[in-house]
Amino acid sequence: MLKVRNIHQYYGGSHILRDVSFEAHAGKVTVLLGRNGVGKTTLLKSLMGLVPIKSGSIEFNGAAIQKWTPYERARAGLGFVPQGREIFARLTVEENLRMGLAYRSAGTPVPGELYELFPVLRQMKNRRGGDLSGGQQQQLAIARALAPGPKVLVLDEPTEGIQPSIIKDIGRVIRMLAGRGDMAIVLCEQYYDFAQELADEYLVIERGEVIARGQGKDMEAQGVRQLVAI
């Protein structure tokens, strides 16, 4: 569903991404691992068109999208949950979810499934986003990305600063979404145990390069924990 080929990206004179290639398949969770500052977030922003790539290609459903705008990629079916959540603090939960439907026709209802996936959002749909806890805001950010029905869901550090009970809820939702078989999930994560539990496939990035890759079930045997330990 998503094919990334030989991506290179620079900030000024710094070579941030070096010949990065991978694929994300429907029904699978592809996990990107690595220490802080190795280029993981830059890679995700490149997928979404938030930063340009110098060379290489990004293919989504057979179309080359590396020159598309972020808006065009979102409309095509790429959903993004950014690091830090970036919800609209002054808008209510329901209004935040409607922002995920911004390119749909006026009056498009918020999918009821979002409240089934994250029941706390139903209870708080009239509260302002800024009044939610960090974990609740993360659930809101994921639900907002899911609102238009993406075919690829890209998540950047969804467990950062989140309490363990909500981490379990988020993991349950990710596995459920992948299990349906019609969505590819790309998960950037530093919490190794969470990543290992969910990964169908993994990549380890170091200094902008992929230094290891394989099946999620083989992560422990292949010493991935040591590769990403701080």
CB 224, CB 67: distance < 8 Å: no
Per-residue model confidence (pLDDT) at position 20: 96
Looking from the CA of 36 toward its CB, the CA atoms found within 13 Å total 3
DSSP annotation of 131 reads G
How far separated are the first and last CA of the chain, in Å rounded? 32
Locate 221 and state its tokens.
């045997």
Give pTM, 2 decimals: 0.93
pLDDT in the model for residue 154: 97
Residue 4, both tokens: 């990334």
Architecture of the domain made up of 2-89+151-228? 3-Layer(aba) Sandwich (3.40)
At 230 the pLDDT is 62
Query: Residue 72 and residue 65: Cα distance in Å, rounded?
Result: 9
Amino acid in the structure at residue 34: G
40: Cβ–Cβ under 8 A, 6 or more apart, which residues?
Answer: 32, 33, 34, 156, 188, 205
Q: How far is CA 97 from CA 43, 86, 124, 165, in A?
A: 26, 13, 12, 23
Contact, 195 vs 202, CB < 8 A? yes
Assign 157 to helix, strand or coil. Answer: coil
Q: What is the dihedral of CA 180, 87, 204, 50, to 10 degrees?
A: 100
Q: In sequence order, what are the residues at sequence separation of 6 or more whose Cβ sits closer than 8 angstroms to the Cβ of residue 221?
A: none
Structure tokens that stand for 183 in this block = 């969505």
Angstrom distances, CA of residue 148 to CA of 7, 31, 172, 220: 28, 23, 20, 36
Output the tens digit of pLDDT for each of the chain's 230 residues: 899 999 999 988 889 999 999 999 999 999 999 988 888 999 999 999 999 999 999 999 999 999 999 999 999 999 999 988 899 999 999 999 999 988 777 778 899 999 999 999 999 999 999 999 999 999 999 999 999 999 999 999 999 888 899 999 999 999 999 999 999 999 999 889 999 999 999 999 999 999 999 999 999 999 999 988 86
For 85, the token pair is: 């959540």
Longest dimension (CA), the chain: 51
pLDDT of residue 103: 78
CB 165 within 8 A of CB 174: no
